[in-house]
Amino acid sequence: FHDPASISTGRLPREELVAQLMQDAYDRYAGVDDGAVADYIPALAAADPALFGLSIVSVTGASHSVGDALHEFSIQSVSKAFVFALVCDALGPEAVLRQVGVNNTGLPFNSVMALELNGGSPMNPLVNAGALATTSLVPGATAQDKWTFVQTGLSAFAGRPLSLDDDVYASEAAHNRRNQAIARLLESYGRIAHDPLETTDVYTRQCSLLVSATDLAVMGATLADGGVNPVTGERVVDPSVCRYVLAALATSGLYERSGEWLFSIGLPGKSGVSGGIVTVAPGKGSLSTFSPRLDAAGNSVRGGLATRYLSGALGLNLF
């Protein structure tokens, strides 16, 4: 990308240029139909594969959206980044580093083998094992207390009350034996801090919270803004937490494709199997995408293409 805007300026380009480049990204990739909608959670298989939305929110609170940016979908694994942030904020990053870790597994997000190969360490908070371990550390004596903490905290990131997609929750709860098994395996290694089945249930709920691409961009912009939600003005987490979360996203946010993502896009991001991706440009803002067709690693195909284009064109690449 040789557009002059591709030189990093320390802030997002002026709004008209952002609007024009987002429309360009939408037009370029709207016709791409590679990849497939996730179907291992039955309710996700019903998603309309044509949906495509892009949203940018700046640390000033300014926002711009294109396409289906207000369409709501279950947040899925994108929640892992924000629950990790809340737990780091509550317990301190050292405790989470010790109990969960921050290294890439190099294996798929739901790998059991990754746990076995690493002596029971979940390795990082962005794969299912590490997310379950992280959710088990959420403050609260009971599963209900933990769930209230998670729902309240993610809503503060989004700047509005987030509600559960009851169908997705019921569907995933009926098909989450693998996550229950991972939680039990963590228990056998002494790596889970709460009852494994209750923890899996809280985790399943957190994955079933409804968000739009615009919500994800507000959530990401809160991390870009040092923990203050730029739309509501509320401080959600400590500034230091954002640095740790963004470092973990850079290593593992796109699973075993995190290296390729950082190489071509140069920004921390987090994907989910319903098709959302949140990408954070520290100090500038967040770009989020929604498109349900996924590649083999579980990352949205059009989301990755649009993010790569916009990272270059908007001058967001950190390197």
Name the residues that contact ligand DON, by CB under 6 A: 76-77, 109-110, 128, 172, 179, 207, 271-273, 298
Q: Between 28 and 184, whose beta carbon lies closer to ligand DON?
A: 184
14 CB neighbour count, 10 Å cutoff: 9
CB of 133 to ligand DON, least distance (A): 13
Q: Between 76 and 291, whose beta carbon lies closer to ligand DON?
A: 76
Rg of the chain, C-alpha, whole Å: 18
CB of 165 to ligand DON, least distance (A): 12
Residue 18's alpha-carbon distances to 135, 208, 309, in angstroms, are 36, 31, 12
Residue 169 known to bind ligand: no
CB of 132 to ligand DON, least distance (A): 9
Beta carbons within 8 Å of 209's beta carbon, 6+ residues apart: 74, 75, 79, 151, 154, 162, 163, 164, 165
Q: Between 172 and 187, whose beta carbon lies closer to ligand DON?
A: 172
Q: Between 230 and 272, whose beta carbon lies closer to ligand DON?
A: 272
CB of 73 to ligand DON, least distance (A): 11
Residue 203 known to bind ligand: yes
Q: Between 155 and 180, whose beta carbon lies closer to ligand DON?
A: 180
Residue 77 known to bind ligand: yes
- Which residue in the block uniquely carries the two structure tokens 């509550």? 90
Encoded tokens for 41: 């959670």
Distance CA 100, CA 149 (A): 19
151: left (phi over 0), alpha (psi -120 to 50) or beta: alpha
Residue 244 known to bind ligand: no
Q: Between 110 and 134, whose beta carbon lies closer to ligand DON?
A: 110
Contact 78, 272 (CB under 8 A): yes
Contact 103, 125 (CB under 8 A): no
Residue 29 known to bind ligand: no
Residue 273 known to bind ligand: yes
Distance CA 2, CA 212 (A): 31
141 CB neighbour count, 10 Å cutoff: 8
CB of 206 to ligand DON, least distance (A): 9
Residue 105's alpha-carbon distances to 97, 118, 259, in angstroms, are 15, 9, 12
Contact 115, 182 (CB under 8 A): yes
3-state DSSP call for residue 7?
Answer: coil
Amino acid at 165: D
Q: Between 66 and 168, whose beta carbon lies closer to ligand DON?
A: 168
Residue 198 known to bind ligand: no
Contact 237, 37 (CB under 8 A): no
CB of 273 to ligand DON, least distance (A): 4
CB of 17 to ligand DON, least distance (A): 31
Point out the annotated binding site. 77, 128, 172, 179, 203, 255, 273
Point out the annotated binding site for substrate. 77, 128, 172, 179, 203, 255, 273
